[in-house]
Amino acid sequence: MNDEPYVSPYAGLDQAGLLLKRAQTHGTRTFLTWAPFDGAAKSWTYAAFADDAARLAHGLARRGVRQGDRVMINLENAPEYLLAWHALARIGAVAVATNARASGEELAYFAGHAGVRAAITQPALAARVRDFCTGLDWLAVIGHDGGVEPREADRPSRDDRFEALYGDASKAPAPPGDGTLPMAVHYTSGSTARPKGVVWTHDNVLWGGQVSANHERLTEADRHLVTLPLFHVVSGIYSTMASLWAGAEVVLQPRFSASRFWPAAVEHRCTWASLVPFCSQALRREPVPARHWFRNWGHAVLDSSVEAHFRVPLLGWWGMTEIITQGIVGDPGLPKRDGAIGRPAPEYRLAVLRDDGSPVEPGETGELRIRGTPGLSLFREYLDNSAATADSFDERGYFITGDLVTVHEDGLIGFADRAKDMLKVGGENVSPAELERVIAQVDGVGEVAVVGKADALRDEVPVAFVMPESASEGGPEGAPDLSALTSAIERRCQAALADFKQPREIRFLDDLPRTGGIAKVSKPELRRLVEAETGN
């Protein structure tokens, strides 16, 4: 791990200080426009947004939130998400950003592992947070679900209303001014059975905003349409923090919707959007407006057919929660290659290595490793997991990404595979190990292995191969009740996992294929079985 001393480029500054600076220099310019699916849009200037964040910071401080305290944000996209994020930063508290689609058991793990004191959520999610996140000092509930009026049964009580948190902006605490302080914890699906908490500092967030804005060539004239979830690095850093750094405008929608994407983009004359291939695939079903104002989409991989269809140049990129911004990025002014990501970002040092640790030659595929500065250009640590933090770096201080990439003869890099066995389901990372841990808890399951299956809309979906307990033990005579076992597995997954993580198929085998006569399950063989059946 690279822990050499350095002088931070943000010395004396923190994320809250950046917002105050933008309020001074861009006070009357629009920072945020909330574009709900139903109802009128609402906008905040930089000055108004900073004032509301200060009011909220004072209110949170009155509720007992202090520097270093952790507060969970469990929300779909909403203005209150960004206000809470900035208000907590003003105090020096830590936002624990969680997926709004997380199951109750996942939320309980996040809350317990991070030691959160309080939570901010929305009406449709409040009961789940309240039931599973026990021990909270308080819970604040915003007044809508993605801009939609809540059901009567879900309406927050007077004491739980988010609006009741607001205080006096003039009494808000001064920004800590220390960029080394932790600012956020993001739980990311890893290669192990339990998600790890990725700790970002204020310096991390400032770095992500500045470097992302530079990569995207954002200016104060840009309007960045944000549809992906704010807890994710793409929306949280590539989109909103990059816009804040550049003095640009954020146009925020509750979530990605193919049918509502273009109306908002045209109405607000959006010039930028950060998407994943899942989004462009879904948008192909919608008519493209005769005129739009997009000058770029961030899109993970270059695809000339997408550029031609939507009349939008694409910026390929690659990143991870641990890397804060893009470690590989395209350049619209240089030659492109379909399927490529881009070139190494100049702010990082990349290595692509063979299994023996030697660098690959042009045209070869190897494991991607990346070097930066922890707490600045790389995450600070995995929360309360020093062993996992140390294990994620090699002996030369390179972060081990676990991704396989191909370095082409022209210098462009293409994504090849996930060495860590991760699945990408509709733009969401899914850990097979996490699914396997949950399914293995079901009575009657002897062994389980999860692999991905190609899916036209979601890229891939999880398929669970299960060996029933009777088969693993040589079992009693008579076949197990596979229908009942399937139902039990489905119920367990629904209780323990977000919907996108749940297996789309459960298949039973008397034995799982093994590698080389040893006990390890051969996932390549299971993938070949899936591919042969689907014709891929």
Confidence of residue 418 (pLDDT cuts 50, 70, 90): low
Both tokens of residue 302? Answer: 């270059």
| Alpha-carbon distance values, 429 to 73, 253, 417, 424 (Å) | 20, 22, 13, 5
Per-residue pLDDT at 37: 95
Distance from C-alpha of 449 to C-alpha of 463, rounded to nearest angstrom: 8
Both tokens of residue 479? Answer: 């076949």
**Burial level of 307, CB count in 10 A (0-12/13-18/19+)?**
middle
Distance from C-alpha of 88 to C-alpha of 77, rounded to nearest angstrom: 17
Closest CA to 438 of 526, 506, 523: 506
| Alpha-carbon distance values, 474 to 31, 133, 446, 469, 484 (Å) | 65, 41, 11, 8, 20
Q: Which three-class secondary structure string do you get for 173-207?
A: CCCCCCCCCEEEEEEECCCCCCCEEEEEEHHHHHH
Confidence of residue 97 (pLDDT cuts 50, 70, 90): very high
Residue 403's DSSP bridge partners are 418
Higher pLDDT, 473 or 513: 513
Q: Which residue carries 């299994």 as its tokens?
A: 355
Distance from C-alpha of 442 to C-alpha of 497, rounded to nearest angstrom: 14
pLDDT per position as a tens digit, 353-410: 998 899 999 988 899 999 999 999 999 999 999 999 999 999 999 999 988 889 999 9
| Domain residue limits, the chain | 15-403, 423-534
pLDDT higher than threshold 50 for residue 411: yes
Instruction: Please tell me whether the overall predicted TM-score, pTM, comes out greater than 0.95 for this model.
Output: no
Residue 449's DSSP bridge partners are 465
Q: Reduce the DSSP state of residue 456 to 3 states and report it.
A: coil
Q: Which positions ≥6 away from 524 have C-beta within 8 Å? A: none
Q: Which residue carries 């704010």 as its tokens?
A: 230
Which uninterrupted H or E stretch holds 122?
none
The listed range with the strongest mean pLDDT (55-59, 98-102, 153-157) is 55-59
Beta strands in 320-392 (DSSP E): 326-329, 340-344, 349-353, 365-371, 381-382
Q: Which positions ≥6 away from 386 have C-beta within 8 Å? A: none
Per-residue pLDDT at 420: 61
Angle of helix 79-91 relative to helix 15-25, nearest 10 degrees, comes to: 110
Residue type, 6: Y
Q: Which positions ≥6 away from 360 have C-beta within 8 Å? A: 352, 353, 354, 366, 407
In CATH terms, the fold of domain 15-403 is Rossmann fold (3.40.50)
Q: Reduce the DSSP state of residue 167 to 3 states and report it.
A: coil
Distance from C-alpha of 105 to C-alpha of 107, rounded to nearest angstrom: 5
Residue 430's DSSP bridge partners are 423
Residue 351's DSSP bridge partners are 369
Per-residue pLDDT at 522: 79
Beta strands in 46-137 (DSSP E): 70-74, 94-97, 118-121
Confidence of residue 502 (pLDDT cuts 50, 70, 90): very high
pLDDT higher than threshold 80 for residue 252: yes
pLDDT per position as a tens digit, 276-333: 888 998 899 999 999 999 999 999 889 999 999 999 999 999 999 999 999 999 987 8
Which uninterrupted H or E stretch holds 437?
helix 432-440
Distance from C-alpha of 115 to C-alpha of 125, rounded to nearest angstrom: 20
Higher pLDDT, 67 or 515: 67
Q: Which residue carries 């996209």 as its tokens?
A: 77
Q: Which of the following CATH numbers is that of domain 423-534: 3.30.420.40, 3.30.479.20, 3.40.190.10, 3.30.300.30?
A: 3.30.300.30
Distance from C-alpha of 433 to C-alpha of 470, rounded to nearest angstrom: 23
Distance from C-alpha of 272 to C-alpha of 507, rounded to nearest angstrom: 43
Q: Reduce the DSSP state of residue 267 to 3 states and report it.
A: helix
Both tokens of residue 112? Answer: 């317990």
Distance from C-alpha of 131 to C-alpha of 105, rounded to nearest angstrom: 10
